Amino acid sequence: MINTYAVVRGGEVINTILLDDSLYEDFPATLDFGSTLVLVTDSGGIGWKYDGQQFIAPEALALTAEEIQQQAKAYRDNLLVHANVVTDDWRAELALGIISDEDKATLIRWMNYIKAVKSTDISSAQDISWPEEPG
């Protein structure tokens, strides 16, 4: 059976490998990974710690206020790119004067959404309430 093993050195997972258990059981002395192999039964990956009994997830790095704001700006930019892709054909139809009343009403909802996204305050970048995408 093929299982995932963590390659542990000094209490830290430095790699993970897939290994056919039968190969390891038949030839353990000939397989040297330069570290201890530990079967991963639940979770564990590169950068995790291993205390001899369990894997311990790495601590999440705290983001600075500037990094959080940059993430919020990137998220806002992605929302706007998506909205512009959705509305692109309707805008062309509007410019050509061939848009249906139904599509024009939908375009107006999307344009209001775009305005709301642009006006969303991301300066604090905490608990931002993003506008809901038009249905």
> Cα–Cα distance between 134 and 47 in angstroms, integer?
41
Q: Is the dihedral of CA 47, 51, 56, 62 positive or negative?
A: negative
**pTM > 0.85:** no
pLDDT of residue 25: 64
Q: Show the 3-state SS of 52-105.
A: CCCEECCCCCCCCHHHHHHHHHHHHHHHHHHHHHHHHHHHHHHHHCCCCHHHHH
The mean of the pLDDT values for the chain is 87
23-27, 28-32, 34-38, 74-78: which range is least confident on average?
28-32
pLDDT of residue 26: 61
Per-residue model confidence as pLDDT tens digits over 81-110: 999 999 999 999 999 999 999 999 999 999
Query: Confidence class of residue 63 from pLDDT cuts 50, 70 and 90?
Result: confident
Which tens digit of pLDDT belongs to each residue from 7-26?
899 999 999 888 777 766 66
The residue among 32 and 2 whose pLDDT is bigger is 2
